[in-house]
Structure 1
Amino acid sequence: MRDVDAIVFNLTTAALMVLTFKCGLLLVGEETVRRRPVPWAAIALTAVAVGAVVLQLAWPGAMDALDADPRKSGWWRVVTSVFLQNGGVFGGAWNLVTLAVIAALAQWFWRGPLMLVLFAAGVLLPQQIDALFGETARSTDPRNFAGSSGATYFLAATLAAGLLLTAPRAKERLLALAVPAGGLAMWLAQENGHGLVACYGFALGAVLLPLARRLPHPPVPAAGVPGTPAPADGPGGTPAR
């Protein structure tokens, strides 16, 4: 029975990532990807994560020294633990690939500095919420003391919030709303922390976007990329306004 529960847990977790990826791709526009700049901040973030895996392979004591086990002291653990991986070969590869893809989509929309700020929020916010409610078991943190998945799901959910606030079509906005709805359902049914951090990321993205639009270099959805045609809405193909 535990094996079945683990399979269902992994499938729903993966499904939420696929859903957030779809939202991010709609937000930045698949047809604009080739015209977007190289996402150097995303590449650098992924390189740090890959470097941490290499460190784990080369140094047997890396997990003990750098994970986020609350029984151990060390202010650095909340940050270093994010770049360690403890899900085996498949889990580690999944975390690295999804981090690279989501970070690139997030940089193309939010731009590099805001992407890094939001990733950092995904690293720090679960711990702060645990402290606020007196939790010591990190119940809201899906990392299980190590792993980049929590911060990645958080960052991915900010893209769903961006889609909700910028999409011209109702079906795209409904798809965006499915991210926090599905995340909350996963938390209530499975205590799956990936779903809860997705809700946090969605909420922060929705609050941040109106403010970010006032910056000298605001976020760039698909419609903001030069050469992108106006989307059609409705059976008559009337351009969306």
Structure 2
Amino acid sequence: MSCLGAIVFNLTTAALMVLMFKSGMLLIGDGDVRERPVPYAALALAAVAVGAVVLQLSWSGAMDTLDGDPHEPGWWRVVTSVFMQNGGVFGTVWNIATLAVIAALAQWFWGGPLMLALFAGGILLPQRIDALFGESAPSTDPRNFAGSSGATYFLAATLAAGLVLSSTDPKARLMAVGVPVAGLTMWLAQENGHGLVACYGFVLGAVVLPLARRSPRALLPTLAARSERS
């Protein structure tokens, strides 16, 4: 990839995250985030990511043992590779910061258990879905053997799906629909795996939200709050 191509790749990847972040902010509603409950599950994910970086810095064999290299044995790699980082200082800071912010937004909307389940989906599902369509090249996974960005973009896209199904504002819904459209465009034009996993996350979020709403138990925090007030 040329220098210009790398710049465009990074800019479009960042722009997609900004689009999903704005969708998440609209989804959880107005108000000071400091007034919201402490997102302990999101903090736990961020702490694991930080701990993994500390492990990399203190153990030279961490990446070889825990990354997602398909040519190496180890059933654990599909999970541990998410918390390894190989994007340098800037990439590591970006990955952990976006993970913490998106996980917090997702917890405030989905609740802790569903947020963690959707994040796990972002770890486990993309490669399985790729295999169904005959995609086996590692390039379909934005992690490139390591990194949390793929699972984070997957989780962020579930917020865009939530906004489409929850908002009555046409502009907000149009912006949220732009997430899978932009993601698919990025994949087709750049083979940018972040865009592809965003499409997967959007679809899963669109499937899970109606099921959570119909559940006899109030799985979503917003539904639980309404039940308490009624």
TM-score (norm 1): 0.89
Distance 2:113 2:225 in 1: 19
Aligned residue for 2:218?
Answer: 217
Pairing 1:14-25 to 2, within 5 Å after superposition: 14-25=14-25
5 Å-filtered alignment, 1:20-99, equals 20-31=20-31, 33-99=33-99
Q: Is the 8 A contact 1:68 1:77 kept in 2?
A: yes
* Larger displacement relative to structure 2 (122-131 or 40-49): 122-131
Q: Which of 56-65 and 25-34 deviates more? A: 25-34
- Following superposition, the deviation at residue 127 of structure 1 comes to 1.7
2:115 counterpart residue number: 115
2:208 aligned residue: 208
CA shift, 1:224, in A, is 8.3
Q: In structure 1, the residue corresponding to 2:140 is in which secondary structure? A: coil
Q: Give the equivalent residue in structure 1 for 2:173.
A: 173
Report how many aligned residue pairs link the two structures.
Answer: 225
Aligned twin of 1:102: 102
The SS at the match of 2:60 is: coil
C-alpha contact 1:32 1:225 (8 A) present in aligned 2: no
The answer to whether the 8 A contact 1:154-1:198 is kept is: yes
Structure 1 CA distance, aligned partners of 2:124 and 2:157? Answer: 16
* 1:5-26 Cα shifts (integer Å, max 9, x gaps): 0000000000000000000000
CA apart distance, 1:130: 3.1
Instruction: Give, in angstroms, the shift of residue 32 of structure 1.
Output: 5.2
Q: Is the CA contact (8 Å cut-off) linking 2:182 and 2:195 kept in structure 1?
A: yes
5+ unaligned residues in a row in structure 2: which ranges? none
Q: Measure the CA separation in 2 of the matches of 1:23 and 1:146.
A: 27
Paired residue secondary structure (2:138):
coil
Letter in 2 for 1:14: A
The structure whose Rg is larger is: 1
- C-alpha change, 1:141 and 1:86, in structure 2 (3 Å) is same
Residue by residue over 1:25-51, the C-alpha shift from the partner in whole angstroms, topping out at 9 and shown as x without a partner, is 000014152332100000001100100
CA drift of 1:73 comes to: 0.8
Query: Residues of 2 paired with 1:59 and 1:204: CA distance?
Result: 36
Q: Residue deviations 1:212-236, cap 9 Å, x none?
A: 1123223245x9868xxxxxxxxxx
**1:2: Cα distance to partner?**
0.2
Q: Report deviation, 1:140.
A: 2.2
User: Normalising by structure 2, what TM-score?
Assistant: 0.93
Aligned twin of 1:234: none
Q: 2:218·2:224 contact (CA, 8 Å) conserved in 1? A: no
Alignment identity in percent?
73
Specify the SS of the correspondent of 2:47: helix
Distance 2:10 2:89 in 1: 15
Q: What letter is aligned with 2:146?
A: A
CA-to-partner distance for each residue in 1:81-111, whole Å, 9 max, x for gaps?
A: 0000000000000000000000000000000
Decide whether the 8 Å contact of 1:130 with 1:138 is kept in 2.
no
